Each structure stands twice: as C-alpha cells, then as structure tokens.
Amino acid sequence: MTSTRRNFIKTASVLAAGSVIPLEALYSRSGVRVAPSDKIRVALIGGNSMGWSDLSSFLKNPEVECAAMCDVDRNVLNRRTDEVIKMGRPKPKLYVDYRNMLENKDIDVVIIGTPDHWHCLMLCDALEAGKHVYVEKPIGNSIAEINIMQKAVKKHGKIVQVGQWQRSQPHFVDAINYLKSGKLGRIRACKAWSFVDWKTAIPKVPDSPVPAGVDYDLWLGPAPKRPFNKNHFHQSWRWYWEYAGGVMTDWGVHLIDYILYGMNKSVPASVMAIGGKYAFPDDAMVTPDTMTAVYDFKDFTMTWEHTIGIGLGNWKRPHGMAYTGENGTLVLDRKGWEVFPEKERTEAVPLQANVGVGLDLHVRNHLDCIKNNTPQKLNADINIGRNVGLVAQMGNIAFRTGEKVFWNNDKQLFTTKTANSLIIPKYNNGYTLPRY
C-alpha cells in the first residue's frame, strides 16, 4: 500500500472521529478506488447484537467485503443478509456451522460475535485456518480459555484485535495521558462501576420447543446439554454462568481495562466480592444483579460495583471509572472526563467531551495493522484482552466461592482448591478444550 493511501486512511479516520461522517462517504468523495488486491474479505460468526455492530463498522471501510456470514439461527442469518444487500453490498455466502465457513479460502478476517462460551474454540479454529480475527470481549468464559487464546495467537502470528474499543476512543486516551502526568499525585484508590438502569427482571418461563430455523445443539456447543428455554437464548444468555459472566464480564472488561491501563497493572494479589440477586431475587437470572468486588494491587485498591435496575451511579454517572489521588480525582466515562481537585491542590479540569465513534476507529486500527502487518500497533491485542479477562474472572470466582481469593501469578493458580476448581471449564457434547 502506498504512503499516499496510508495518509488518506489516517486522515479519513481522524475526520470521521471529529464529525462522525461515515468513512465510506469520505472515500467516495475523494475518488479513491480500491484495487481487488487491496480488498479485505471479512466473515461474521454470530449476527446478533455486537456481532452485527462490528460487521457494520467493518463495512464502513470501502476495502472491506462481507464474504460470508454464519449463525445457528437462520432467521437472524436471513435478516442480516437482507441488511447487507440494502447497503449495496453483494450477498455473502451463508453458513450455519462456522467450521464449514472456515474452509472458505477467500476469507481474510473472521469476526467472532457469539456468546462467550464459544469464543475460545472459534478463535483457535480460525487461527488454525489461517484467518485474522476480531473477537468480541470478554475473550473467553474462563481463566483457562483466555490463557489458551493468548497462547494460540502467539503461536499462529495472526493479527487479532479484541473488541475493547474504548482503547481507540480519543478522549479515553487523553484522560490516561493526564493521569500519567502526575498532576493527581499518588493514586491510592480506583473505582469502576456499571449501574444498568435499562435492564429489568427476566420472568421465569417453561422450557419450550426449539424455534424453527435454529440449530440449538450447535448453539449450545461445549455448554451443558439442556432443553431449550428462551431465557438462555438470544440476548439473555449473558446472565448464566454456562455461557458468560454477567455484568462483570460484559461492562466490567471495558471499564476495569482502563483501570489496569491507567495504573500500569495487570494482576492483583487478592480479590474479595459480595453481592447477589438483590434487585430481582425471584427472576430467572443466575449471575448477580448487585455486586461489589475489591481488588488489592498492594499499592492501591480497585473497587468494582454493579447493580441492575438503578442508573444513578457514582458521580451521577451510570457507568465510569475514577482515579483518586492525593491532589484530586479524575472521573472518566464514555461521555468524557474531568478532574475534581482535592482542597485546591491541583486545578479543576472541566468536562472533556467524547469525540468520534470508538468502534469505527477500533476497526480501522485493526484493518491498518492487517494491511501493514504491524500487530504491535493494535490498540487492544490479545494480551490486553487476556489481562482484563483474568481480572474479571477473578472477581466472579471470588463471588461464586464466597472466599477472599489469592492469586499466584507464577503458577497461574489460586491458593485454594475451591477457587482453582473454577479455572478450567468442563466441555460437553463431544467438544474438547483446545490444547496449546
């Protein structure tokens, strides 16, 4: 790729961040034409929610083609195919089983937007097939899986971006640059939180027949065999340990990641957690709707808080992060960041507002790294995904065991059998955990 083209891509991304102009429109106005040899052919696994958002963001870049889509629900597959065609894009090849899709030699990049319990298998299989990968966060549903995924990426050397798109959001980066300036003094305590006011109770419903067009056995994959229940399927799967880790691994990996980034840490010494189903004690969710976890990093503490059904969080923000130092507190969320001084020891910083679309910039970063073979320039590589995935899993394990858990980073183990029993997931239905 020429230097002129690289400069144009960079300029287009920055302009899109400032004015939220679709990237494909910028290319069209500039008269840039993409040669067939520069095309990047993308395939999507999992067409609901973030999987579709990710693909839509990829398709804002004119060099990207949607070569294939895969979903165990043909209803989703048909609906998303219609939407791709409405974008003026050719109809992609369609698959129900992702393993058949990976045999397609025309695919360059695979987007994994499935429930968490499938991420490890799909990433490893995609890498074995020679594909680059964009994998949604959290990268895995257990400590063993996220460690395996890190090893797999290292072995295969492909360009893998984790969907922690805040790493590409300019105002988040600006906030961390301020934090590292030292103006807040020594940071003693950090906090991250998510108050999910839009989430309501999930009423219990009986099991039911599998909907037409759904390969439910393939959806379950390595998860335990169980009858179909809509509460365990689209959207609601996040609230069951078999498939995900609740709010902690949904919002938590986004927000805790920036605590680790700002404090230049990766592993705490210990974690303790309390909480439960306090908002909706009799509904169908299993993961806690209210939870507090306290992490000890030896030179500072981090507190994670989440609750469902309440939106007025810390500093009147439904979600965010706070870094409290001797001279003041920096508060950061998706709308912007600001600084509150401690007894006039530093200057207040008014709200520095968000600019641009973080997901679009994150995808652009991934594409540029693929084009230039520069994995070191990824904004959220597998190591970043692994570090925060580990910390989030540690919080959930502390909650599920009721123990204060201590982590031996050299052995990659806890100090108790109870906590260690939750490190390695049990794969079912003939599936086996990948070995690396």
> If you search the block for the tokens 């306290």, which residue do you land on?
294
Gap between the Cα atoms of 80 and 65, Å rounded: 15
Residue 287's closest CA among 253, 236, 229, 321?
236
Q: What is the pLDDT of residues 389-404, one digit of tens each?
A: 999 999 999 999 999 9
Dist CA 233 CA 216 (whole Å): 9
Nearest alpha-carbon partner for 361 in 137, 170, 159, 87: 170
pLDDT, residue 9, reads: 33
Structure tokens at 176: 């961390």
Q: Which DSSP symbol is given to 236?
A: G
Burial of 376 (0-12, 13-18, 19+ CB in 10 A): exposed
Give the residues across from 187 on adjacent strands: 325
Strands 93-95 and 413-414: unpaired
Q: What is the pLDDT of residues 47-98, one digit of tens each?
A: 999 999 999 999 999 999 999 999 999 999 999 999 999 999 999 999 999 9
DSSP reduced 3-state for 62: coil
Please give the DSSP secondary-structure letter assigned to residue 154. Answer: H
**Rounded to whole angstroms, how far apart are CA atoms 205 and 97?**
28
CATH class, 168-354+386-420 region: alpha beta
Separation between Cα atoms, residue 364 and residue 6, nearest integer Å: 12
Coil/strand/helix, residue 305:
strand
Q: What pLDDT tens digit does each residue of the chain (436 aa) get? A: 433 333 333 333 333 333 333 444 433 333 456 777 789 999 999 999 999 999 999 999 999 999 999 999 999 999 999 999 999 999 999 999 999 999 999 999 999 999 999 999 999 999 999 999 999 999 999 999 999 999 999 999 999 999 999 999 999 999 999 999 999 999 999 999 999 999 999 999 999 999 999 999 999 999 999 999 999 999 899 999 999 999 999 999 999 999 999 999 999 999 999 999 999 999 999 999 999 999 999 999 999 999 999 999 999 999 999 999 999 999 999 999 999 999 999 999 999 999 999 999 999 999 999 999 999 999 999 999 999 999 999 999 999 999 999 999 999 999 999 999 999 999 999 999 999 9
Alpha helices by DSSP H, listed for 20-156, are: 23-30, 49-58, 74-86, 98-101, 119-128, 143-156
| Encoded tokens for 223 | 């998860």
Structure-block tokens of residue 211: 């909907």
User: What single letter denotes the amino acid at residue 292?
Assistant: T
Coil/strand/helix, residue 426: coil
Residue 65, SS3 per DSSP: strand
SS3 category, 104: coil
CATH number for 3-166+359-379: choose from 3.40.50.300, 3.40.50.720, 3.20.20.370, 3.30.70.3040: 3.40.50.720
Map out the domains of the chain as residue ranges. 3-166+359-379, 168-354+386-420
